[in-house]
Amino acid sequence: MDMTLDEIKDFLNEFDRFSKCNGMKLVVLREGYAEAEMELTCNALNGLDIAQGGAVFTLADLALAGAANSHGVHAVAMNSNIAYVRPGLGKTLRAIAREVNRGKRTGLYDIEVFNDQNKLVAKMTSTAFYHETRFTR
């Protein structure tokens, strides 16, 4: 039996070990849409006391994982391009991923990362590859 959206969200939050170990989690998951958030702790900051670029990228990538896997088929990123708009400051960051186009084997996604003042920190465009494997219980 296929997993529900809540089960897929729980699965990704539990088994995306890198994101989990770095305090990131999916908080919203709908078909073709996901939101991920993280608290900006000292582990996510660079030497200038702003969010390290890799932490911002990883948060955006987790939101992509949610949106791309929301169809119940295993998906991974094939390509991602990110533009950093402003320093990641504040207490939390939130990434929102939206599906732009979905084909049989690939999909295109826009991901935006916002600070806790709802200001854009980064914009990412990603292509996902869909495996033939479905999420099942």
pLDDT per residue as tens digits for the range 26-61: 999 999 999 999 999 999 999 999 999 999 999 999
pTM for the whole thing? 0.96
CA distance 98 to 103: 15
Domains of the chain: 5-134 (3.10.129.10)
Read off the pLDDT band of 1 (50, 70, 90). confident
